[in-house]
Amino acid sequence: MGCWRSPQGGRLFYPLDNNDGMHLHRVRIGLAMRSMKPHNWQAIKPPNEGEATTFTLTINGQQEEGFAIRTHGALHAYINRCPHAGTPLDWLPGRFFSADGTVLICQTHGAIFAPDSGACLAGPCPHGLVALPVDEKEQHLSVPADLTMQT
C-alpha cells in the first residue's frame, strides 16, 4: 500500500498506487483500472477495530455512500455498493462484517469480500469493491467528500 504526506502533514493511504503529486490514484477493480481525484475531504469518526463508519460523498456529481473500516489495525474505505446488484452492502445500517469479523458480506446475495483489499472471495460479484483513499492524522480521519472517477 502506498503512502504520501498530505498537505496538512498526515499520511494518505491509497489502495494500490499513486500517479503523481495531485492525489490522483488508481484502484484495481477486477481487470479494470479506475483513476480517482479527490477534490474535497471530510472528517468522519474513525471506526474501532472490526467496526465501520458510513459517510456520504459525491462521485462524478452523483451522491453515493461510502464506509470506512478498521481491520487488523489498518484503515480501508470503500463505496457502499454491491458490484453485482448495485445495492448497499450493509445488512443493518453500518454492519458490514460477518459475525466472526473476518469478512465483509453483501446483504443482497451473500457475496463475501476481503476487508483489507475489497477483493471478492465468494458469491456472484463480477469484481471487488471500489476502494477509496483514506487520510489519517493522529486521531482524525478524513475521506473524500467529492471526487472524480474515470475508468
Sequence letter at residue 52: A
Q: Collapsing DSSP states into helix, strand and coil, what is residue 56?
A: strand
- Give the per-residue pLDDT at 95: 93
Q: What is the mean pLDDT of the chain?
A: 80
Instruction: Provide the 10 A C-beta neighbour count for residue 17.
Output: 12
Task: With a cut of 70, list the residues of the chain below it in pLDDT.
Answer: 1-34, 151
**DSSP codes joined into one string, 13-54:** E-SSEE-STTS-EEEEETTEEEEEEEEEEEEEPPPPBT-EEE
CA distance linking residue 113 with residue 122, whole number of Å: 7
CA distance linking residue 68 with residue 75, whole number of Å: 7
% the chain with pLDDT above 90: 58
Are 55 and 45 spatial neighbours (Cβ–Cβ below 8 Å)? no
- Give the per-residue pLDDT at 81: 93
Domains detected in the chain: 38-146 (2.102.10.10)
Please write the tens of the pLDDT for every residue from 11-23. Answer: 333 343 334 333 4
